[in-house]
Amino acid sequence: MERSHPVKSAVDKIIDTVAGGQPAEIPGVPNSEPPSLEEPTEPREPLPPKPDQSGPDTYSPTGQPTDTPRGKMAQGGPYLTTAQGLRVRDTDHSLKAGPRGPVLLQDHHLREKIMHFDHERIPERVVHARGAGAHGVFRGYGAASNVTRAAFLGKDVETPVFVRFSTVIGSRGSADTVRDTRGFATKFYTSEGVFDLVGNNIPVFFIQDAIKFPDVIHAAKWHPDREIPQAQTAHDTFWDFAGLHTEATHHTLWNMSGRGIPRSYRMMEGFGVHTFRLVNEEGATTLAKFHWKPKLGVHSLVWEEAQLLGGVDPDFHRRDLFDAIESGAYPQWELGLQLFPDTPDQMFEGIDLLDSTKIVPEELAPVQPVGLLTLNANTSNFFAETEQVAFHVGHLVPGIDVTDDPLLAGRLFSYLDTQITRLAGPNFPQIPINRPHAPVNDMQRDGFHQTAVHRGVAPYRPNSLDGGCPFTAGADQGAFVEVPVEVSGRKVREAPASYDDHFSQARLFWLSMSPVEREHIVAAYTFELGKCYEQAVKERYLRVLANIDPVLCRQVAEGLGLPAPDASQPLADPSPSPALSQVGQTWPTDGRIIGIIAGDDDAEAVGAVRQAVLDAGMVPLIIAPTGGMLGGTLPVQRTFTTARSVEFDALLVASAPAPGKDAYGARDAKAGGGADSPIDPRVLLLITEAYRHAKPIGGWGAASQVLSQAGIPAQAPGVVVADDGPSALDGTLRFLAAHRVWDRFPAAAALT
């Protein structure tokens, strides 16, 4: 029996770009058909993909639509073959002279199989190696048409997209939840060629000039002698560099805030960082910064959660993205533009628009929505799509041009350069996920992995032998024409004086944070610097913090056991930007994970609440003493052995389960020391951890008993004990809409 998609048919998924869907089933199913207990023996075609999965659209290597169904890019046929299509009778034994060998050199199947396996790996990205991707649709609102002629931003124009989210520092197999910047790269397959918006979840960068990129990355990655630590900046080389190179201060402060540990890719903003130059039909230009605004709000993990997840579920962000799409909770972002007059000095309100370490506060230049991105399909093959996708800031379309930001200039060189090595040769634009959806006639020829079969004899211009084709186009025929800006200057290795201000916007960020956000920032610096070995590195960085804010500096210094230095220059007095804070509002809870702690005695009430969670567009995971079916009817997703609080956004307590048969330390360390407890100690751990992480907790029936045993006051903020399941859920969701119950742990007086 084929599994059907809970909410959306495959067709809906492609055409439904707005509404998203409601989770209706537990995501995570491995394939489109449940496996049989016995090994299948009847030859059959490969299973169809799961309904949530899609591959790239089927375009030719030269950007022309084909009639090929997507499935035809996958392997087919019921029988195992060689790479040449030859059917194979035995793939378990190499060809030998007698059962004990030796193996014969003539075994072409062995040779081919091992050869291919030996070459399965390709170099990982030099940065942003760890990531996850999804397909989707972008729909323009038409609101940008007065400032840019880019066709994909036109009213109701729908453009297929592929998005890859990533961390920066870690290797391909590193944990998702490390403290780091996140990449947010979007490939728009527009009718005018591919446009890539290769951004981050932080609007500023570590450096102002690309020539320093190798330095900042070498400092942030592992120490070269031992290759530790993996995927984190909590070590001497990073803070050594950051203390000596103070233009990194602003970006580093964002990293130390909740932005460095997002709750989900779905709950991150995205930023193009640089200022771009937009051009409209009349040729008028406007400077612009790109923003992605998540419909679910911007939310973060707390640091202990992030650390636990690194071990409990290193794939936490990947899983969250895949599961949300699979369950129909399609993530959405609005694309927005901040617009600035294209003045000769390229400044706005005193802010240098070519300095990528600076933001323009939204209060000064509001973000104007110009379109909606919906991610509505998972990849069907991670390597073919997510690993082989190749983004490049130089993939532009008419209406969007670059500026002279020196960081952008280096990127314009870097991406193609690195991809030649990573994807082995110059033909990576022909890999299916990279193919444009616009006809390609580029006169590039040959090279490794050439998959186009070109015609003609004259791949040069001018020619007459191929009838003069291809011809260059004018702007009227959709050509990209660089804006003819004046350039002049002396040849120097210098930066403008405005680039010398390294602290005023870091102070702006600090002053814009709520007290609890400041607590987290203090804790993050104290942790990271506390992991450094060298005293000088810590002391030097305290001098940097003193130039952001004396309270921040003093609090971190106290944690490090060091004196707090004074600022070395006058502190700026910027107006706070409320838009930078992540707290104080409410947001939709779509796709959130609700753990329901159940015993064997309450299946009916649990079933009703489970359904209510599904109806509210979230994912209910039943946590019970053992696996199987609760009350014979409800599938159990987690047991007390497998559940850990960090995977849930909120908990509902339906039962007070007595210690399970495996609830003792020798079997499960989580239960250690709690043998005399009337309630399974792992349930108490689950609840106390969730409480500590400021998550909403609701319950009914025996919940009061469980909470009291866990030492949690029933009146504590964000704890809802109700008469029945639906009321408990309602109360809990009110807190979940604000993401966390920050009132539970008030900030210290010094930070309020």
If you count DSSP H runs as helices and E runs as strands, how many of each does the chain have, helices first?
17, 21
Instruction: Determine the residue type at 10.
Output: A
Q: What is the dihedral of CA 539, 542, 544, 545, to 10 degrees?
A: 170
Q: Which two tokens stand for residue 451?
A: 């998959």
DSSP secondary structure code for residue 15 in this structure: H
Q: Distance between CA 21 and CA 327 in Å, rounded?
A: 8
Contact 22, 331 (CB under 8 A): no
Instruction: Determine the residue type at 401.
Output: D
Strands 638-639 and 131-140: unpaired
**Which residues does residue 341 pair with via DSSP β-bridges, in sequence order?**
286
- Considering the complex, state which of residue 125 and residue 739 has its C-beta at the smaller distance from ligand HEM: 125
Q: Scan for tokens 């008469």, then name that residue.
A: 723
Q: Distance between CA 96 and CA 106 in Å, rounded?
A: 10
Strands 182-190 and 131-140: unpaired
CA 334, distance to chain mean position in Å, is: 16
- Considering the complex, state which of residue 210 and residue 556 has its C-beta at the smaller distance from ligand HEM: 210
Q: Which two tokens stand for residue 550?
A: 């004396």
Q: Scan for tokens 């004899």, then name that residue.
A: 457
Residues 6+ apart with CB under 8 A from 605: 654, 700, 701, 724, 725
Which sequence positions are flagged as catalytic?
128, 200
Phi/psi of residue 341, nearest 5 degrees: -60, 140
Q: Which two tokens stand for residue 65?
A: 């639509």
- Considering the complex, state which of residue 237 and residue 418 has its C-beta at the smaller distance from ligand HEM: 418
CB of 138 to ligand HEM, least distance (A): 17
- Considering the complex, state which of residue 271 and residue 303 has its C-beta at the smaller distance from ligand HEM: 271
Contact 437, 59 (CB under 8 A): yes
In the complex, residue closest to ligand HEM by CB: 183
Q: Which two tokens stand for residue 438?
A: 């616009």
- Considering the complex, state which of residue 290 and residue 348 has its C-beta at the smaller distance from ligand HEM: 290
- Considering the complex, state which of residue 327 and residue 346 has its C-beta at the smaller distance from ligand HEM: 346
Residues in the site for ligand HEM, rule: CB under 6 A? 125-128, 131, 164, 166, 183, 185, 198-200, 205, 210, 213, 273, 356, 389-391, 407, 410-411, 414-415, 418-419, 422
Instruction: Determine the residue type at 746.
Output: P
CB of 390 to ligand HEM, least distance (A): 5
- Considering the complex, state which of residue 217 and residue 750 has its C-beta at the smaller distance from ligand HEM: 217
Q: Distance between CA 418 and CA 104 in Å, rounded?
A: 41
CA 605, distance to chain mean position in Å, is: 36
